[in-house]
């Protein structure tokens, strides 16, 4: 396994970046563009997920890093919840929700697997 030297090297961050890009694409759609509050909420929660991975990477302890990875997972869930609001308001179609949920699941699993890995490493150090 290659040594990770920057947060940009993390697979979970790379996948989250794709997720954020997709959210921005959705929120630029004609129907969606008029709901400024929802656009703000959904963009902020998606960006927060990606940013928490980066911020956690630069923390001084594995425990702090794992806490920020957990925040990232929570922000992913928040973003998906906002997508349901968008669906219910007819801003997006079901296929868009399914696409976003699929990518959100990939990100969530990668973050979750990374947390599991960090926990294992932390236990070995004790």
pLDDT in tens, 57-106: 999 889 999 999 999 999 999 999 999 999 999 999 999 999 999 999 99
pLDDT of residue 2: 62
What residues contact residue 16 under an 8 Å CB cut-off, 6+ apart?
Answer: 49, 50, 53, 72, 76, 107, 111
Vertex 24: Cα angle to 23 and 27 (nearest 5): 85
For the stretch 17-65, pLDDT in tens is 999 999 999 999 998 988 999 999 999 999 999 999 999 999 988 999 9
pTM of the model: 0.92
Helix residue spans in the chain (DSSP H):
11-27, 36-57, 62-88, 94-125
On average, the pLDDT of the chain sits at 94
The label of the residue with tokens 């997006």 reads 92
Q: pLDDT above 90 covers what percent of the chain?
A: 86
> What are the residue ranges spanned by the domains of the chain?
11-125
Please give the CATH topology (third level) of the domain spanning 11-125: de novo design (two linked rop proteins) (1.20.1440)
């Amino acid at each position: 396994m290659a040594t990770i030297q920057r947060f940009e090297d993390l697979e979970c961050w790379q996948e989250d970046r794709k997720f954020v890009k997709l959210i921005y694409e959705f929120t630029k759609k004609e129907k969606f563009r008029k709901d400024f509050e929802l656009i703000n909420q959904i963009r902020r929660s998606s960006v927060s997920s990606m940013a928490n991975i980066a911020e956690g990477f630069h923390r001084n302890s594995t425990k702090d890093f794992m806490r920020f990875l957990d925040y990232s997972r929570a922000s992913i869930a928040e973003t998906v919840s906002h997508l349901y609001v968008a669906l219910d308001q007819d801003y997006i179609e079901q296929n868009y929700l399914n696409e976003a949920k699929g990518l959100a699941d990939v990100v969530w699993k990668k973050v979750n697997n990374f947390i599991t890995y960090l926990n294992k490493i932390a236990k070995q150090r004790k």
